[in-house]
Structure 1
Amino acid sequence: MSSDADPDEPSRSSTVGLVAGVFLLSTAAGAYEIAPASVLPLVRESLGIGATAAGWLVSVMYLTAVVASVPVGIALDRVSVRRAVAAAGVALLIAGAWGWAAAVAGAYWWLFASRMLGGLCYVIVWNAGANLAGQAVEPDVRATAVGLFTASAPVGFTLGQFGSPLLAEPFGWPATLPAFAAIAAVGVGVFLLATRNRRLAVETGQPDRAEFAALFTDRAAWTLCTLSFLGFSLYLFLNSWLPSYLTEGLGVSLAAGGALTAVFPAVGVVSRTGGGVLSDRLFGGARRPVAVLSFVVAAPAIAGFVVFSAVPVVVALIVVSGFAVQLALGLLYTYVAEVVAPAVRTTAVSMLTSVGLFGAFAAPIAGGAVIERAGYLPAFGLAAALGALGAVIAWRAPTSETPTGG
């Protein structure tokens, strides 16, 4: 994607505004996405549903993103990205209002449908934002910009986890849905203002069938998709089951367990941006060393949950594992765009998103099954093994080629 309507180079303020706009949109979508998770007892009571049905109000957004991500990527390679992002922001506002009305009325399936719309909005903003952030800056800071954009996910998660109970107490839990979605209005405004003199489009024209076929059989792309699957699996497994482990396994109070778990996504604000900075500055634009470092550190940190039970040590493990697991998650979006043909970059990012979010969708469910049958420690051990597998795959990952032109 590039600016092709205005012959002049975009101003720094325009670039900052573009990245800030998609960051705010992604933050809004992330907070909206996770909002029901921290108030599930209230959700179950007001709708008269069980734990599984309540859990699906979060999981359905991941499942929608998994199914829609590649078609969305193909569309974004062919349509006006500016209009698509703006439309997704407006649709997220509609999803928030629709969800509030459905929740107040006790209409579970209408609420479920509104969450599906929210999932579609999320994947449009995420795929487009990852590409736009990378294309808006010079190649030597591309990974830094994309890493900064992907930090919007932990910002949104942290906001949703902390903010939902605070909003639910005076206004009722349904108010969390439009409240967090409303942030998208600011994001859309900033994005449109920053891009008003630019037409965001595909860099090299529409990809043909041969280029699509080559992408879906590209070993390098699938290697990075596998790393995305493993990384997001670890991220959501720990996000989902650390609170219960801290409460049931270590005797930490529910409130303290939730607060400690919130540290896990929160450190991603630093590590997702830091992964890009390390790649751009320390490793001269090489992406593979950061991917290897991420899994090499994550695997023993997660294994530490099996070995140590002292709360201070566990808190340290939460910080280290949260930092390590997220170190490469943002970088992979830059990485995959550099190992595929330029015409299919958006589709490649969408494929990475789809495979990664499938891991995010499946890991909490699979982890729950292991915990139910064997307990927490075997589940953490299996997660550590996945981290070690990721280190091996990252070591064999392709070498990216960082462009030297703008």
Structure 2
Amino acid sequence: MAEPELRERQGTVTVTGWQTWGTLGGLFLVSAGFIAYAIAPASVLPLFMDTFSIGKTAASASISAVFLTWALLQIPGGYLLDRFDNRYLVFLGTGLFILASLTGLFVDSYTLFLGTRLVSGACAVFVIVGSVNILGRLLPENFEALGLSIFIASPPFGVAVAQYSGPRLAALYGWKSAILVYTLVALFGLAVSVTVLRQPVKADSRVTVHQFVAALRNPTILIISTASFCTYAVWTFLNTWMPTYGTEVLGIELAAAGATTALVPLAGIVSRPGGGWLSEKLGGRLQPVILISFLASILFLYLLSIAPSPTTFAILLGLTGGAVNLAVGLYLVYVNSVADASTHGTSLAVLLTFSQVGNLVAPLVGGWLIAQLSWTAGFGFAAGLAIVGVVLVVFVPTTR
């Protein structure tokens, strides 16, 4: 792969090639470590419940807590990113997350443990959105789509690592060891980022209240964000309900069904950068790749719903996960290309807020449809979201 060219545009940073790769690698590790920490309780839930003497509903709150404060503080955090040096906000947010995570390992009260999770979630806007904003200003134009797509593969990478390593670490050293390892991964990524990223990363002028409100109302960004909502909702529907579908409908053992569902985030590790690569091959065009993602998702969701065997189910689940993930990194590039240079942080926060809402809504609506109607209704819901995505992409203004 060719080394990225240098660039110097409004609101961007001029860096060397090794600084580009070092920053991308460091922030990737910070993000992957944070996401692995966020979902870590899910892979060791029985041990987690025994430690605090709680039930499933209370235990699931440890995961929801992170995403709750993340969603609530996303837009205010984006405003801060548009006003101050993003390096310091990312470094501070990551440091506070690490401190909260380590504190959680030493508390005996579940209430206090939840408090550390809420604090960590509040840091996510700087850990994730801030990292995207830094890379959006740092990466050269000829590498932006692929570079951001590589970074946005860090969440499914973190999910896959937690799903695979969590139970194994817990069996050897206890469930807290998994959280410690993921936190140390983020700490190492922070150390790399602090070492290589020396120049200030901020807009050339501070965002005004008028610009902030205009960014929240930008119709193009709202359309892109709604398309991202659809993508994330389908992705979360697959991750949430396919283990149960495999068990109830195809007779797969729960452990095997869970391992099969891990193909969804694993496919994302490949397909998210793949979407950026394909966009570059199409001359930087974004709409065709996003459209392919939604159309392929519709087809594979239908085939998945009628899969006759566990083997076919596994193959189609991997293909569906790959199709859904293809567009994820491109939404970030899209927003960067249409947002005012002074409101990148706010615009990205809007995008990721919509995405988080998709994560929160899909399991609930999908579960209600499955319980009240049928699995066909659940798959229809997911396919309907993809159809809405097609319509949105067709009407969104073109870029490049």
Q: TM-score, normalised by structure 2?
A: 0.94
Q: 2:339: which partner in 1?
A: 340
Distance 2:135 2:275 in 1: 15
Q: Does 1:299 align with 2:298?
A: yes
Cα distance, 1:168 vs. partner?
Answer: 0.9
Cα distance, 1:122 vs. partner?
Answer: 2.3
Q: 1:157: which partner in 2?
A: 159
Q: 1:404: which partner in 2?
A: none
Aligned length: 392
Q: Does 1:53 align with 2:58?
A: yes
Residue 352 of structure 1 aligns with an amino acid whose one-letter code is L
Q: 2:250: which partner in 1?
A: 250
Q: Deviations over 1:132-151 (max 9, x none)?
A: 22222211221111101101
Cα distance, 1:95 vs. partner?
Answer: 2.1
Distance 2:80 2:301 in 1: 38
Q: Deviations over 1:37-92 (max 9, x none)?
A: 11122222322222221112112222211111111110011112111111122122
Cα distance, 1:9 vs. partner?
Answer: 4.1
- Structure 1 consecutive aligned stretches of length 4 or more whose deviation exceeds 6 Å: none
CA contact (8 A) 2:23 2:193 kept: yes
Q: 1:274: which partner in 2?
A: 274
Distance 1:99 1:248 in 2: 36
Distance 1:160 1:148 in 2: 19
Q: Deviations over 1:110-165 (max 9, x none)?
A: 11111112212222111011122222221122111110110111110101111110
Q: Deviations over 1:179-232 (max 9, x none)?
A: 211111101110011113x12222x31122222222222110100010111111
Q: 2:91: which partner in 1?
A: 86
Q: 1:214: which partner in 2?
A: 214
Cα distance, 1:304 vs. partner?
Answer: 2.0
CA contact (8 A) 2:275 2:327 kept: yes
Distance 2:53 2:80 in 1: 39
CA contact (8 A) 1:21 1:191 kept: yes
Q: 2:150: which partner in 1?
A: 148
Provide closer, same or farther for how the CA distance between residues 101 and 120 of structure 1 changes in structure 2, counting only shifts above 3 A: same
Q: 1:179: which partner in 2?
A: 181
Provide closer, same or farther for how the CA distance between residues 210 and 321 of structure 1 changes in structure 2, counting only shifts above 3 A: same
Q: Does 1:40 align with 2:29?
A: no
Bigger CA drift: 302-311 or 354-363?
A: 302-311
Provide closer, same or farther for how the CA distance between residues 168 and 3 of structure 1 changes in structure 2, counting only shifts above 3 A: farther
Distance 1:84 1:8 in 2: 16
Residue 192 of structure 1 aligns with an amino acid whose one-letter code is V
Distance 1:245 1:302 in 2: 13
Residue 242 of structure 1 aligns with an amino acid whose one-letter code is M
Q: 1:95 aligns with which of 62, 83, 100?
A: 100
Q: 2:122: which partner in 1?
A: 120
Percent of aligned pairs sharing the same letter: 32
Cα distance, 1:8 vs. partner?
Answer: 9.7
Cα distance, 1:288 vs. partner?
Answer: 1.0
Bigger CA drift: 140-149 or 389-398?
A: 389-398
Bigger CA drift: 258-267 or 362-371?
A: 362-371
Cα distance, 1:374 vs. partner?
Answer: 2.5
Q: 2:4: which partner in 1?
A: none
Cα distance, 1:373 vs. partner?
Answer: 2.0
Bigger CA drift: 180-189 or 117-126?
A: 117-126
Residue 173 of structure 1 aligns with an amino acid whose one-letter code is W
Distance 2:13 2:341 in 1: 22
Bigger CA drift: 304-313 or 325-334?
A: 304-313
CA contact (8 A) 2:14 2:138 kept: no
Provide closer, same or farther for how the CA distance between residues 8 and 77 of structure 1 changes in structure 2, counting only shifts above 3 A: closer
Instruction: Structure 1: state its 5+ residue gaps.
Output: 402-406
Q: 1:30: which partner in 2?
A: 35
SS in 2 for 1:343: helix
Q: 1:74 aligns with which of 71, 75, 79?
A: 79
Q: Deviations over 1:252-308 (max 9, x none)?
A: 122211211111101111111111111122x21111111111111111211223222
Residue 35 of structure 1 aligns with an amino acid whose one-letter code is A
SS in 2 for 1:163: helix
CA contact (8 A) 2:79 2:212 kept: no
Residue 18 of structure 2 aligns with an amino acid whose one-letter code is S
Provide closer, same or farther for how the CA distance between residues 215 and 158 of structure 1 changes in structure 2, counting only shifts above 3 A: same
Q: 1:21 aligns with which of 16, 26, 37?
A: 26
Residue 128 of structure 1 aligns with an amino acid whose one-letter code is G
Q: 1:355: which partner in 2?
A: 354
Residue 149 of structure 1 aligns with an amino acid whose one-letter code is F
Distance 2:231 2:118 in 1: 24
Distance 2:78 2:183 in 1: 23
Distance 2:177 2:8 in 1: 38
Q: Does 1:263 align with 2:263?
A: yes
Provide closer, same or farther for how the CA distance between residues 115 and 219 of structure 1 changes in structure 2, counting only shifts above 3 A: same
Cα distance, 1:328 vs. partner?
Answer: 0.7
Q: 1:166: which partner in 2?
A: 168
Residue 116 of structure 1 aligns with an amino acid whose one-letter code is L
